[in-house]
C-alpha cells in the first residue's frame, strides 16, 4: 500500500468518526430541546387522579400548548409542588381566572352557581379546605382538584393552594404506559 493510499484511509476513518460525533451532538441537542420546550415524561404517583389516571401511569406532558393559548377548564395539568424539589402534581383545572370558587355541601360552586358539568369527581368532597368560604381567583390563577376528591392534595389544601398559570409545566397529553392504556388523554 502506498503512502497516499494510507493517508486517504486515515482521512476516511477520521471523516467517519467526525460524522458520528456530529450526528451524536445533533441527537443530544434535539433531545434537550424537545424535553425542555416540547414534551416531558412524568410518572403518576398516588391515587389522587383515579379513575382517570392510576398510580404508575407514565405520561408525556405537552409543554408547548400553553405558550400559544390559555389553559381550559377540565384540562389535566402538571405543576411543581412548591415545598419539595423534583416533585410534580397532576390535577384537573376546575376554577378559572376571575371566577369566585367555593366548595359547599361537597360540590364546587363557581360564581355562586353549582358546577354541574364537573363529571370527573368520584365522590362528594368531605373537606372544603381553604375553599369553605368563596375565594375569587386573580389573573393567571386556577383552582385545581384531583378526580379522587377525598384522597387528593389539591387547591383546597393550603400546601397546594391556588395555582398560577405561569407555574404550570404543561398538560397531560399521552399515556405511554401501561401499554394496555396507551393513548391520548381525554380532557373533556
Enzyme catalytic residues? 48, 91
Buried b / exposed e over 68-93, threshold 16 CB at 10 Å, is: eeebebebbbbbeeeeeeeebbbbbb
**Rounded to whole angstroms, how far apart are CA atoms 105 and 101?**
13
Handedness of CA 126, 130, 136, 138 (dihedral sign): negative
**Rounded to whole angstroms, how far apart are CA atoms 92 and 94?**
6
DSSP state, residue 185: P
**Rounded to whole angstroms, how far apart are CA atoms 149 and 3?**
78
Buried b / exposed e over 129-155, threshold 16 CB at 10 Å, is: eebeeebebeeebbbbbbbbbeebbbb
**Rounded to whole angstroms, how far apart are CA atoms 168 and 102?**
22
Strand partners, 136: 100
Amino acid at each position: 500500500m502506498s503512502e497516499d493510499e494510507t493517508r486517504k484511509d486515515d482521512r476516511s476513518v477520521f471523516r467517519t468518526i467526525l460524522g458520528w460525533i456530529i450526528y451524536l451532538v445533533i441527537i443530544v441537542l434535539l433531545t434537550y430541546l424537545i424535553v425542555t420546550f416540547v414534551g416531558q415524561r412524568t410518572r403518576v404517583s398516588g391515587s389522587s387522579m383515579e379513575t382517570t389516571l392510576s398510580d404508575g401511569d407514565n405520561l408525556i406532558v405537552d409543554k408547548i400548548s400553553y405558550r400559544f393559548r390559555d389553559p381550559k377548564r377540565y384540562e389535566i395539568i402538571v405543576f411543581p409542588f412548591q415545598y419539595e424539589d423534583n416533585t410534580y402534581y397532576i390535577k384537573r383545572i376546575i376554577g378559572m381566572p376571575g371566577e369566585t370558587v367555593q366548595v359547599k355541601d361537597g360540590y364546587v360552586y363557581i360564581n355562586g352557581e353549582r358546577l354541574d358539568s364537573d363529571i370527573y369527581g368520584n365522590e362528594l368532597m368531605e373537606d372544603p379546605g381553604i375553599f369553605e368560604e368563596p375565594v375569587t381567583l386573580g389573573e393567571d390563577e386556577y383552582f385545581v382538584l384531583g378526580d379522587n376528591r377525598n384522597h387528593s392534595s389539591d387547591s383546597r389544601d393550603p400546601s397546594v393552594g391556588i395555582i398560577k398559570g405561569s407555574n404550570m409545566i404543561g398538560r397531560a397529553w399521552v399515556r405511554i404506559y401501561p401499554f394496555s392504556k396507551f393513548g391520548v388523554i381525554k380532557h373533556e
